[in-house]
Amino acid sequence: MPVLAIGLSHHQVSSDALTQFTAAAERAGEQLREAHGVHGLITLATCNRCELFVDSENFHQTVRLARDLLGKAGVPDLAPITDVYGLRNAVRHLFEVACGLDSMVVGEAEIAGQVRKALRRSSEQASPPLHRLFQMALGTSKQVANATMLGAMGRSVASVALDLAESRHGALRGKQALLIGTGAYAGVVTADLLRRGAEVSVYSSSGRAAAFATTHPVTPLTDAELPAALGTTQALIACSGRGRTAYHLTSRQLTEARGQAAELLPVVDLALGRDVSPELATTPGIDLIDLDVVGQCTPNDHVESLERARKLIDVAVENYLQAERTRLADPAIVAVRSYVNQIVAQELGDVTAHNSPEQTALVARSLRRVANTLLHQPSVRAQESARNGELGDFMSALEEVFGIEVTGQ
């Protein structure tokens, strides 16, 4: 299995460092796709991680090149500490990620969608083995969700962050909540806020708040209305996720808008690229809950479900690797079939020249039936040899006995 994965996650670096790494990985990935021996690449970027999954002929050379390109793309300090997974480990890692076992929130609900989105976005750059790998990872994720309690207990990062905000500042029911952002994740956050009974207002610097309000029961805000809303809101949630260099909200903006407000304001920043300035962490009157805080406060106590999920992943990994090893036999099977079919075609040529069309058709059916019978056992043995790592011996035997040279490996 010629796949490897290289990247960083919430296990190693802060969300700010991960944002920087993600931008560099996009640039490095474009160059890595063009490298000799690289047949495909998929970039998986979420609020928890950024990893490049690469179909490559040379593991060590590709890892060195990837780290070199990442360093040149702007993260020389992060490139050397990237996690690297190869072959079986890369397959298992992706399956664990897709099933939510390696997320900031174990069993998180959104990860399968993010894996599917990564495959869709990288579809043109992904090789057939990577397509099959990601598709099976998604299938395994669905199986784990259906067969364990992780699907029921799995919560989003947003729900954990809002749980934390409520534990610190009381229930959101009946309170004014201001949401910054109208992207795909904003819909998830809005649904959670409404479920908790909050009254939600939405602001978007791109001017899409009004359009968002047509499909969600929220109040849209204009640029002119934002300062007043900042002054009265009882909870602020930012999730535009644009990763801009300029923050949507600064310490000065909130301080001026809130004036002498005595109540402590929870500010939940769910954007990987930060929507609010990190200075808010030390701003009086503000309780900043960002992704780093969420990661430190996430419980991972689904012991029985995790054990069951890992067993299902064990089986899925083996099934995937077996299937991929079996595919290695395809060129050998094609070579044998081509050899036999060529003999059949020669015989049919002689029959056609000396017999009627009816007689030729009868002989053709008989020859093809015999050929298929003869080909069955070699095809089965080729697949068995591939699964057992003995395909080289099988191909050597073909060349020795029949003079068949297998190409396409």
For residues 115, 59, 40 and 92, what is the CA-based torsion angle, rounded to 10 degrees? -20
Cα 294 to chain centroid distance, Å, stands at 21
Contact indicator for 351, 361 with CB cutoff of 8 Å: no
For residues 113, 246, 295 and 21, what is the CA-based torsion angle, rounded to 10 degrees? 70
pTM: 0.69
CATH of span 157-289: 3.40.50.720
pLDDT in tens, the chain (409 residues): 579 999 999 888 888 899 899 999 999 999 999 999 999 999 999 888 999 999 999 999 999 999 999 999 999 999 999 999 998 999 999 999 999 888 877 777 788 999 999 999 998 999 999 999 999 999 999 999 888 877 655 567 888 899 999 999 999 999 999 999 887 678 889 999 999 999 999 999 888 999 999 999 999 999 999 999 999 999 999 988 655 445 678 899 999 998 877 789 999 998 877 888 889 999 999 999 998 888 787 665 566 778 889 999 999 999 898 888 776 656 766 777 787 788 888 888 888 888 888 888 888 888 888 878 877 787 777 667 666 766 676 677 667 666 667 665 5
- Domain ranges for the chain: 3-154+306-324, 157-289, 329-402
Catalytic site includes residue 297: no
Q: Where are the beta strands (DSSP E) in 82-126?
A: 83-86
CATH architecture, range 3-154+306-324: 2-Layer Sandwich (3.30)
The Cα 211–Cα 222 span in angstroms is 12
Q: Do the domains 157-289 and 3-154+306-324 match in fold?
A: no
**Considering 47, 50, 99, 239, which one is annotated as catalytic?**
47
